[in-house]
């Protein structure tokens, strides 16, 4: 007997979920039914794929190989279905998107209702990670990355760019005053980043160039954390326009040193493994987000 696609799907689901019970919940079956499917698959293949105990599961060497091949087969089946769907011009299927938390919260989530209205047959899976992920390992169709891309085997599509703005809350400025010159920043509490030193080079013109290096008094790994620190009056921050535009318009943050801003804009790229014949659902999402990001590229530095 040959393995069936539903058995491959359950096997892959168990490995990705980390347990039979979690996989059972995801596929809508009982744990005992999922366990029987695994046993039946192993019997068909005449090999042990998973060493199972009451506390843990470990893939055998054969299991690791079979897992990689099963994912490829299922991806090929998805691609075939997508091509058939593309012929009918009906974007559908699951779309797994990964982005840093600030971009997800400020540049994707606010537009989900509109996107779902346009493409109701696309099932969105939104995941946030402030570090660079492995798309295959995380089962991701497309990741949004901010800043200059490192050399990679991934293919990229530019979605636009966003200015970086120097901002602080009215409460902070009332207490400490606003810097009038770039050099005045040395007398203020500055908020920066821990994992990306490039973000601690602020786009400000001064006598030695157009990138002002700072030493943060408070550092964080996430831009969203830095934003909240700024909103709480903890210091001055340099943040993307897409994540501060609403705060600036509402008066929760004020733009500083606009006349010294060098005009640098952060590139925003979508990265993915598929190069030709992109799934229609991915194309639709990228076109949609690109249209929303167009406003950021033309933004001025006064908010």
The DSSP line for 18-41 is SSHHHHHHHHT--HHHHHHHHHHH
* Confidence check: pLDDT of 78 > 80: no
- Residue 38 tokens read as 């695994």
* 152-186 CB burial, b ≥16 within 10 A, e <16: eebeeeebbbbbbbbbbbeebbeeeeebeebeebe
pTM above 0.75, yes or no: no
pLDDT in tens, 2-56: 778 888 889 888 888 888 888 888 888 998 999 999 999 889 888 999 987 767 7
Q: At what angle do helices 61-87 and 5-17 cross, to 10 degrees?
A: 120
- List CB contacts of 251: < 8 A, sequence separation 6 or more: 170
Top pLDDT among 83 and 147 is at 147
At 86 the pLDDT is 57
- Residue 187 tokens read as 């007398």
- List CB contacts of 59: < 8 A, sequence separation 6 or more: 15, 49, 50, 51, 67
Percent of the chain residues past pLDDT 70, beyond the cut? 87
Per-residue CA distances from 149 to 20, 197, 295 (Å):
38, 15, 22
Per-residue CA distances from 258 to 46, 167, 185, 199 (Å):
69, 10, 14, 18
* Confidence check: pLDDT of 299 > 60: no
At 275 the pLDDT is 47
Q: Is residue 191 within 8 Å of 236, Cβ to Cβ? A: yes
* Confidence check: pLDDT of 276 > 50: no
- Residue 159 tokens read as 């979605």
pLDDT in tens, 225-256: 999 999 999 999 999 999 999 999 999 999 99
Three-state DSSP at 300 gives coil
The total number of residues written for the chain in this structure: 303
* Confidence check: pLDDT of 139 > 70: no
């Amino acid at each position: 007997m040959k393995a069936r696609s539903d058995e491959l799907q359950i096997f892959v689901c168990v490995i990705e979920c980390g347990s039979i019970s979690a996989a059972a919940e995801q596929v809508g079956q009982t744990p005992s039914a999922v366990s029987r499917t695994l046993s039946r698959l192993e019997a068909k293949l005449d090999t042990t794929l998973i060493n199972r105990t009451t506390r843990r599961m470990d893939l055998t060497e054969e299991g690791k190989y079979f897992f990689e091949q099963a994912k490829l087969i299922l991806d090929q089946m998805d691609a075939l279905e997508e091509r058939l769907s593309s012929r009918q011009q009906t974007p559908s299927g699951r779309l797994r998107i990964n982005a840093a938390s600030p971009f997800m919260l400020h540049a994707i989530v606010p537009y989900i209702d509109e996107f779902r209205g346009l493409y109701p047959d696309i099932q969105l899976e939104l995941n946030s990670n402030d570090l660079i992920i492995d798309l295959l390992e995380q089962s991701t169709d497309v990741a949004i990355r901010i800043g200059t891309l490192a050399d990679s085997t991934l293919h990229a599509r530019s979605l636009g760019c966003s200015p970086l703005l120097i901002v602080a809350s009215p409460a902070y400025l009332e207490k400490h005053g606003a810097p009038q010159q770039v050099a005045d920043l040395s007398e203020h509490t500055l908020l920066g980043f821990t994992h990306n030193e490039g973000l601690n080079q602020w786009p400000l013109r001064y006598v030695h160039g157009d990138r002002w290096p700072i030493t943060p008094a408070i550092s964080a790994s996430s831009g969203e954390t830095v934003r909240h620190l700024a909103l709480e009056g903890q210091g001055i921050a340099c943040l993307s326009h897409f994540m501060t535009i609403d705060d600036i318009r509402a008066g929760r943050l004020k733009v500083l040193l606009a006349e010294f801003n060098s005009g640098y804009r952060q590139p925003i790229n979508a990265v993915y493994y598929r190069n030709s014949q992109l799934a229609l659902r991915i194309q639709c999402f990228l076109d949609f987000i690109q249209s929303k990001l167009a406003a950021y590229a033309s933004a001025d530095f006064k908010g």
